Amino acid sequence: MSLIADRYRLAETIGSGGMSNVYAAEDTLLGRTVAIKMLKLDMARDQGFRERFRREAQNSARLNHPNIVSVFDTGETLVSDVSVPFIVMELIQGRTVRDIVRNDGPLHYQDAARLLEPVCHALQASHDAGIIHRDIKPANIMVTPTGAVKVMDFGIARALDDSTSAMTQTSAVIGTAQYLSPEQARGKNADARSDVYALGCVLYEVLTGRVPFEGETPFAVAYQHVQEDAEAPSSRMNTSDLSPTEAVNIDAVTLTAMAKHPADRYQSAAELGEDLARLGRGAVTQAARSHVHPTTHSTSHPATMTAPAVASGSAATAATMAAGPAAAAPAPYPESNPAPRSSGGKRRKVEEDNRVVKILAAVLAGVVLLAGGLFAWDFFTNPSTSPDKQAQPQQASVTVPDVARKPANDAERQLEALGLTVEREDAPSPDIAAGQAISTNPSAGSSMPKGATIRLVVSTGKELTDVPDLTGLSPQDAGKALEEAGLRLSSRVEEEHSDSIPAGSITGQNPPKGSRIAKGTEVSVTVSSGPQTARIPSLDNMSWQEAQATLSSLGFRPSPEYVDSTEEKDRVLAVGGAGDQAPVGSEIIVRVSNGMLMTMPDISRSTPEQAVSKLRQAGWKGDQSSLRAGDAVATPSLIDNGLIGGSQPAAGQTIRKDATITYNPWVFDLGALAPKPGR
């Protein structure tokens, strides 16, 4: 299983989760290191887990943001006769926020705000795409060595447009208990504000080093998320390092994000991000401006800080935080005179609330008994009035309000407050954001009896479509294919070299093929620029070793071709295609001298022994038998007798160093002096 999809070579395991393993791998096609998440084999045998993993791949592939781990490819591979799905992602080096807090301790509040602000940007992009993360926690936030923040693991993310699927029709609580929103703990529908709550819990932990709620079991923790108020984070911090204004700022932002009801929280990740930006630079946050309501301070009656919703028009349900004794009279905003805090104040408030509840219960019981007695007295003292003679009360009716474009949870709560039973129905909408109400049936303005059922139509965002496979197509053909699918081709086209895909054809796309995304979304592509090329250099006067090193450094495969030459051995004679552009990886033929040619010296008037010496000096490598005596040549000179008169090859010719040489010796002959007949 070292090579999957004929492309990815698996290396070491770098992570393991409940249902998948993560490997470092090499993309052999593009020559880059990636991370591959593969469903565990025992999980892959279960259709439900395979579907959940496939959904993770689709959700992740729909997201393209610098603070979200990028997905390059998806697919399946056969392992032990089981089809195992996998996701190819960018490989991130760094530490998780969980590791940072565990190893380094709580962060300064400004550092914490700057750290989590990019997470808000990532979540807003996710929510805009119709996806709720549902599992925001410190272990899913990575910080690279350069300080970049990446949100990862959309493993249990549920697309807003998938709420009608069988997998989401369950009350099972999904997510890590320490960061679970109250609505998720109740098994209710989660929306974007559920992620805001989870990030508020993460902020709490980064500031204090502790989670807001602790318990022996996940259910005990989930119960506290629903029923208990978290202690103010500033009460768990080193208050000697905080000014009262800073403490109020910290508490306001954190507790607003962690408000029990979604309507009382920041209404988007972007809103939380804006306040984190203010907190990071030490400015007054919007939460602090809106939420601090000073009361009359005394040592026996603690002040409270209430946290209504930031968004205008939201319900102002108070998430109270007990504060300690005041130092002075109340002020419009606590920069000049902040509301102090005390853990004892919170206990006293709970005790007072319990006494109030008991008193109200007793009063209510008395009212019920009194009403019952009056009814009985009236019934028996007026015998002429019997039940069958009394007029039947007219059933109360309500007018259906206009809830269009409101968050679905808010719309549902508004309708239920009128005594109506709400049934949700999901539908795509081209202009209403996912998770917001589109309409009701009966429509707004209609009259309905209390207790009747009303259908609330909730937007799943734009209509979804499958991303076609664009690999191998030209950008023009890809544009047509995307248009048919209701998508658009991005004007931003990247290029990369490819040895297997011709220049001008598409090598990759984002989102990947098979992803389901909103119609009208842009799809970006990467186009092949053909194989990578380099100029073949001229290697004149180089040795073969030097030429080999030069060509290899350019990505070529040098191959020598030895030829006869008078140049010294291993001297480069010529390079095939020198000056031309050639694909990197090409074989380049280099003509190299074998040093086997020499110039025939003049050996005339030499003895055979002298001739051998002259030949050796010229580079001749033949043995004694390769120097042969040919036909004698008559000479009238007695002095030349026995010397060499000529040779084949003749002097000046180019010969091989191992060539056979024939010489013609002179022989003295007086007859050579006699004139020839006819002369």
Torsion angles phi and psi, residue 361, rounded to 5: -65, -40
What's residue 375's pLDDT? 43
Q: Locate 200 and state its tokens.
A: 């508020």
When pLDDT is averaged across residues 9-31 and rounded to a whole number, the result is: 87
Give ∠ CA 493-496-498 in degrees, rounded to 5. Answer: 130
When pLDDT is averaged across residues 291-304 and rounded to a whole number, the result is: 37
- The residue annotated as part of the active site, out of 73, 135, 153, 275, is 135
Q: What is the pLDDT of residues 397-418, one digit of tens each?
A: 999 999 999 998 899 999 999 9
Under the banding of pLDDT at 50, 70 and 90, the label for residue 51 is: confident
> Is 70 in the same domain as 183?
no
> Is 184 in the same domain as 125?
yes
> Is 122 in the same domain as 233?
yes
Choose the weakest-confidence range: 169-173, 231-235, 295-299, 554-558: 295-299
Torsion angles phi and psi, residue 489, rounded to 5: -85, 125
* pLDDT at residue 236 tops 50: yes
What's residue 163's pLDDT? 38
Asked whether residue 379 is assigned to any structural domain, the reply reads no
Q: Locate 477 and state its tokens.
A: 């053909």
For the chain, the domain total comes to: 6
Asked whether residue 365 is assigned to any structural domain, the reply reads no
Selection from 465, 515, 468 nearest residue 57 by Cα: 515
More confident residue, 35 or 369: 35
* pLDDT at residue 170 tops 60: no
* pLDDT at residue 337 tops 50: no
> Is 436 in the same domain as 542?
no
What's residue 354's pLDDT? 46
Q: Locate 397 and state its tokens.
A: 């009716």
Under the banding of pLDDT at 50, 70 and 90, the label for residue 239 is: confident
What's residue 402's pLDDT? 95
- Mean pLDDT of the chain, nearest integer: 81
| CA-to-CA separations, 665 to 605, 636, 673, in angstroms, rounded | 9, 13, 18
Clarify whether 135 is annotated catalytic: yes
More confident residue, 385 or 180: 180
Asked whether residue 26 is assigned to any structural domain, the reply reads yes
Q: What is the pLDDT of residues 102-149, one digit of tens each?
A: 999 999 999 999 999 999 999 999 998 888 888 899 999 999 999 999
> Is 484 in the same domain as 547?
no
Asked whether residue 192 is assigned to any structural domain, the reply reads yes
* pLDDT at residue 232 tops 50: yes
When pLDDT is averaged across residues 262-287 and rounded to a whole number, the result is: 94
According to the annotation, is 37 in a ligand binding site? yes
Selection from 615, 609, 541 nearest residue 574 by Cα: 541
Selection from 229, 217, 243 nearest residue 110 by Cα: 243
> Is 611 in the same domain as 586?
no
Q: What is the pLDDT of residues 620-655, one digit of tens each?
A: 999 878 899 999 999 888 888 989 999 999 999 999
Measured CA to CA, the distance from residue 334 to residue 243 in angstroms comes to 11
First to last CA, the chain: 98
Last residue of a domain, one of 422, 438, 459: 459
Helix (H) / strand (E) containing 163: none
Last residue of a domain, one of 319, 346, 373: 346
Q: What is the pLDDT of residues 63-86, one digit of tens each?
A: 889 999 988 888 889 888 888 999
What's residue 58's pLDDT? 74
The percent of residues in the chain predicted with pLDDT above 90, rounded, is 51
Torsion angles phi and psi, residue 602, rounded to 5: -85, 115
Under the banding of pLDDT at 50, 70 and 90, the label for residue 173 is: very low
Tell me how far the alpha carbon of residue 155 is from its chain's centroid: 13
> Is 474 in the same domain as 610?
no
At 627 the three-state DSSP class reads strand
> Is 483 in the same domain as 559?
no
Choose the weakest-confidence range: 17-21, 22-26, 562-566, 650-654: 17-21
Asked whether residue 312 is assigned to any structural domain, the reply reads yes
Looking up residue 579, the CATH number of its domain turns out to be: 3.30.10.20
The DSSP 8-state label assigned to residue 407 in this structure reads B
Asked whether residue 278 is assigned to any structural domain, the reply reads yes
Q: Locate 623 and state its tokens.
A: 């043995």
Last residue of a domain, one of 459, 474, 495: 459
Q: Locate 573 and state its tokens.
A: 């004679």
Measured CA to CA, the distance from residue 137 to residue 93 in angstroms comes to 18
> Is 232 in the same domain as 167?
yes
Asked whether residue 561 is assigned to any structural domain, the reply reads yes
Those residues with Cβ within 8 angstroms of residue 293's Cβ, 6 or more apart along the chain or in another chain: 304, 305, 306
Looking up residue 119, the CATH number of its domain turns out to be: 1.10.510.10
What's residue 278's pLDDT? 95
* pLDDT at residue 308 tops 50: no
Q: What is the pLDDT of residues 488-525, one digit of tens each?
A: 999 888 888 888 899 999 999 988 888 878 788 899 99
What's residue 554's pLDDT? 92
* pLDDT at residue 470 tops 60: yes
Selection from 579, 598, 576, 600 nearest residue 588 by Cα: 576
When pLDDT is averaged across residues 365-380 and rounded to a whole number, the result is: 44
Torsion angles phi and psi, residue 560, rounded to 5: -80, 145
CB of 63 closer than 8 Å to CB of 50: no
CB of 569 closer than 8 Å to CB of 541: no
Under the banding of pLDDT at 50, 70 and 90, the label for residue 363 is: very low
> Is 204 in the same domain as 137?
yes
10 Å CB burial of residue 242 (0-12, 13-18, 19+) is middle
Domain that holds residue 572: 533-593
CB of 512 closer than 8 Å to CB of 467: yes
Asked whether residue 378 is assigned to any structural domain, the reply reads no
* pLDDT at residue 464 tops 50: yes
> Is 565 in the same domain as 635?
no
Under the banding of pLDDT at 50, 70 and 90, the label for residue 302 is: very low
When pLDDT is averaged across residues 525-530 and rounded to a whole number, the result is: 92
At 635 the three-state DSSP class reads strand
Q: Which residues lie across from 662 on neighbouring strands?
A: 628, 648
What's residue 637's pLDDT? 86
At 540 the three-state DSSP class reads coil
Q: What is the 3-state secondary structure (H, E, C) of 189-213?
A: CCCHHHHHHHHHHHHHHHHHCCCCC
Choose the weakest-confidence range: 160-174, 266-280, 349-363, 534-548: 160-174
What's residue 382's pLDDT? 45
> Is 537 in the same domain as 509?
no
What's this model's pTM, rounded to 2 decimal places?
0.48
Q: Locate 19 and state its tokens.
A: 């249902």
10 Å CB burial of residue 320 (0-12, 13-18, 19+) is middle
* pLDDT at residue 668 tops 60: yes
What's residue 301's pLDDT? 32
